Amino acid sequence: MMPQEEARKLDRFIQLLLANATVFVSGEKLAEALKVSRMTICNWVHHLQKQEMVIEIKPKIGYRLTQVPDLLLPQLIRRELRTKVLGKSLYHYFQVESTNDVAHQLAQQGVAEGGLIVAEEQTQGRGRLGRDWYSERRVGIYLSLILRPILKPRHATIINLAAAVAVSQAIESTCSLSTDIKWPNDVLVNNKKCSGILTEMSADLDQIKYMIVGIGINVNHQSFPKSLQGRASSLFLEGGRRFSRIEIILALLRCFEDLYLELQKQGNDAILERWIRRSSFARGKEVSVDLGDKKIHGTTIGLGKEGTLRVKLSGGQIEDIMSGDVVIWDSVK
Amino acid sequence: MMPQEEARKLDRFIQLLLANATVFVSGEKLAEALKVSRMTICNWVHHLQKQEMVIEIKPKIGYRLTQVPDLLLPQLIRRELRTKVLGKSLYHYFQVESTNDVAHQLAQQGVAEGGLIVAEEQTQGRGRLGRDWYSERRVGIYLSLILRPILKPRHATIINLAAAVAVSQAIESTCSLSTDIKWPNDVLVNNKKCSGILTEMSADLDQIKYMIVGIGINVNHQSFPKSLQGRASSLFLEGGRRFSRIEIILALLRCFEDLYLELQKQGNDAILERWIRRSSFARGKEVSVDLGDKKIHGTTIGLGKEGTLRVKLSGGQIEDIMSGDVVIWDSVK
């Protein structure tokens, strides 16, 4: 078999196992249905077992997927995706250095708008401002989306805000937890960071060639390294129970797609409004901002039309803060 | 020999030929100096002859580079470079699709700030807004610089303006031709475009990862395709004589480096001032600008602090035009 054909058949094989989860299916029938040898089926089973799918083998009877695995398999995501663009091509990895890096490679190879990369684990997960993103295996959501919006680079911030709104909305609807958004794109639960977004782009000064929106969500983490304690948390820790990563991803993709399509049709306003509605940081928050060449103190009064954070200084002057400026919050009211 | 060692020795061989241009050097001496076989020397000579270096072979006497070739060889550029950063690593190609594309690949492989890519010909030279850049063999300058500035993406415009100032200054100082800069970065001679710049970047919303500044200069073109006639020209056509591409490159790199280092130390002001001094478009030019969602008419009144073009509308309102907006000039005074 050609590698591509084999990948297609393996994909179909996983679908069959999932469709027949918890019952035995004979190797002979599987081989017949997929037009492969029984040896190939046997090899595939060992391959999937190594990747932590629990498949029982009963000689002369067949194979049984004992439970639907808690993995972000494309076959599981695709079943209930219901999006037009996002996730239409889907790449699943058990371990990558960084889903954003994989997404860059795929984007450069021409993968179309909406390409979705998900990983069970990142060994070099990246966050904003050169920080790491803690990416423990199989408990978090580590995904990247390839977008090709017809926007100028200066409009990239709004996509970033849209992603934060989508994460916030997905967490609230699937986990029944209240969220807050810290400008620009951290999603907090009980004032602790449960999600971060790293938006990257390849652009000239006139237009964006492609954007990568990388999203990390701490879902079922039971603990964090000491350095993150007090600041980071997970939906499990805040909600007191485990949540389905796939359900959150599905809600996230649907919500982000709605916002993304709306943005391209109707401009920034709807996203700005929703962001403001979902964030306690948008208005009346006392902040101290390090702009590099100067520090300012003031009170937030909303967002600028490109997604900047508007801060009214004590003298009455208004400053628009762009993403990328280091923001230190004096008081978290 | 390892490929890298061979490349180093071939580089040294070209240097020896250039140092001894117009006189014969014996193959034996060359082989001895470079610690290679005479057969290797012979192969190299054939290789260079194929690449249009005129090398005379006299049996039992040796090899003679009959003239310093009109090529942008690193060995020729390096001799008088005198820069600290720009061009410190140098990549010369006889033909590439696009020097910007090569630069992206090299930047991703980690080539340091200042890496310079030059080509004798581009088969798919690119300009702004998806346009082609006409890149005839050996008559133009087609180069790209890799920069790694510690800047936020929104500051990229200023580097673009600095490049235009450097091109303008390099043409004036080496060719004694008067130039004008059309906002943002076209350099005109006698109101015809002789140079264009395509600045691209890889960035997140917080910082630029790397920038590629691609510069095309029409130097010794004797004619242009019909579609470009009237708008494009070359220094040869406007100045009435041929100019040294290497001299222009050297002046350009020195000037751009000065501006680039100054920018990082002292901010935008010096570049904005120089740009304004070199451009008839900065002040008092009647313009009509297509902003996509609206069209405006007004008169230019200078540059904003990030390099935007400030236009005063008839009603007195001031608009800041960003790079990327399509600018149509009503009248070129």
Residue B331 has pLDDT above 50, yes or no: no
pLDDT of residue A331: 46
pLDDT of residue B327: 64
Answer whether B199 sits within 8 Å of A204, measured CB to CB. Answer: yes
Class of domain A283-328: mainly beta
3-state secondary structure B172-221: HHHHCCCCEEECCCEEEECCEEEEEEEEEEEEECCCEEEEEEEEEEECCC
Residue B253 has pLDDT above 50, yes or no: yes
Across A128-137, average pLDDT: 88
CATH node for A3-65: 1.10.10.10
pLDDT of residue B286: 87
A3-65 matches A283-328 in fold = no
Answer whether B202 sits within 8 Å of A202, measured CB to CB. Answer: yes
pLDDT of residue A322: 81
Put simply, whether B10 touches A (Cβ < 8 Å) is no
Residue B329 has pLDDT above 80, yes or no: no
Instruction: Tell me the C-alpha distance between B283 and B303, whole Å.
Output: 9
Residue B333 has pLDDT above 60, yes or no: no
Answer whether A128 sits within 8 Å of B206, measured CB to CB. Answer: yes
Please report, rounded to a whole number, the percentage of residues in chain B having pLDDT higher than 70: 95
Q: Strands, E, within chain B: which ranges?
A: 24-25, 55-58, 62-65, 90-93, 116-119, 140-147, 180-182, 186-189, 192-204, 208-218, 283-290, 295-303, 309-313, 318-321, 326-328
Whole-angstrom Cα Rg for chain A? 22
Residue B274 has pLDDT above 80, yes or no: yes
Locate the chain B residue with the closest alpha carbon to A128. Answer: B206
Average confidence score pLDDT of chain B: 91
Locate the chain B residue with the closest alpha carbon to A291. Answer: B152
Whole-angstrom Cα Rg for chain B? 22
Across A175-185, average pLDDT: 95
- Specify the range with the lowest mean pLDDT, choosing from A81-85, A283-287, B274-278: A283-287
Please report, rounded to a whole number, the percentage of residues in chain B having pLDDT higher than 90: 71
Superfamily of domain B74-278: Bira Bifunctional Protein; Domain 2 (3.30.930.10)
Answer whether A156 sits within 8 Å of B156, measured CB to CB. Answer: no
Locate the chain B residue with the closest alpha carbon to A207. Answer: B324
User: CA of A215, closest CA in chain B: separation in Å?
Assistant: 13
User: CA of B202, closest CA in chain A: separation in Å?
Assistant: 5
B3-12, Cβ contacts within 8 angstroms, sequence gap of 24 or more: B9/B34, B9/B35, B9/B36, B10/B44, B10/B47, B11/B74, B11/B75
| Sequence-ordered list of residues with C-beta below 8 angstroms from that of B60, at least 6 positions apart, any chain | none
Identity at B28, one-letter amino acid code: E
Across B236-251, average pLDDT: 97
pLDDT of residue B68: 82
* 206-245 in chain A: CB under 8 A from chain B: 206-207, 209
pLDDT in tens, B5-55: 887 888 889 889 988 888 999 999 999 999 999 999 999 999 899 877 899
Omega within 30 of 0 (cis) for the link into A184: yes
C-alpha closest to that of A245 among A125, A136, A102, A115: A136
Locate the chain A residue with the closest alpha carbon to B326. Answer: A206
pLDDT of residue B145: 98
Put simply, whether B184 touches A (Cβ < 8 Å) is yes
Q: Max CA-CA distance within chain A?
A: 82
User: CA of B316, closest CA in chain A: separation in Å?
Assistant: 22
Better-scored residue on pLDDT, B194 or B128:
B194
Which structure tokens are listed for B231?
């708008």
ipTM confidence score:
0.77
Put simply, whether B205 touches A (Cβ < 8 Å) is yes
Across A322-327, average pLDDT: 62
Q: Which residues of A touch B204 (CB under 8 A)?
A: 128, 198-201
Locate the chain A residue with the closest alpha carbon to B308. Answer: A205
What confidence tier does A215 reach under pLDDT thresholds 50, 70, 90? very high
pLDDT of residue B289: 82
pLDDT of residue B81: 94
Answer whether B203 sits within 8 Å of A204, measured CB to CB. Answer: no
Going across the sheet that includes B318-321, the strands are B318-321, B309-313, B295-303, B283-290, B326-328
Q: Which residues of B touch A160 (CB under 8 A)?
A: 205
Read off the pTM: 0.83
pLDDT of residue B206: 84
Across B57-78, average pLDDT: 91
Across A243-267, average pLDDT: 95
Average confidence score pLDDT of chain A: 91
Across B187-213, average pLDDT: 95
pLDDT in tens, A4-35: 788 788 888 988 998 888 899 999 999 999 99
What confidence tier does A206 reach under pLDDT thresholds 50, 70, 90? confident
CA separation, residue A333 to residues A232, A244, A285, A287 (Å): 18, 31, 7, 11
pLDDT of residue A149: 93
Across A152-172, average pLDDT: 94
pLDDT in tens, B104-160: 999 999 999 999 999 999 999 998 877 899 999 999 999 999 999 988 888 889 999
* 105-164 in chain A: CB under 8 A from chain B: 128-129, 152-154, 156-157, 160
Answer whether A153 sits within 8 Å of B324, measured CB to CB. Answer: yes
What confidence tier does A203 reach under pLDDT thresholds 50, 70, 90? very high
pLDDT of residue B129: 78
Instruction: Tell me the C-alpha distance between A247 and A170, whole Å.
Output: 9
pLDDT in tens, B170-186: 999 999 999 999 999 99
CB A271 within 8 A of CB A149: no
Across A102-117, average pLDDT: 95
Structural domain boundaries in chain B: 3-65, 74-278, 283-328
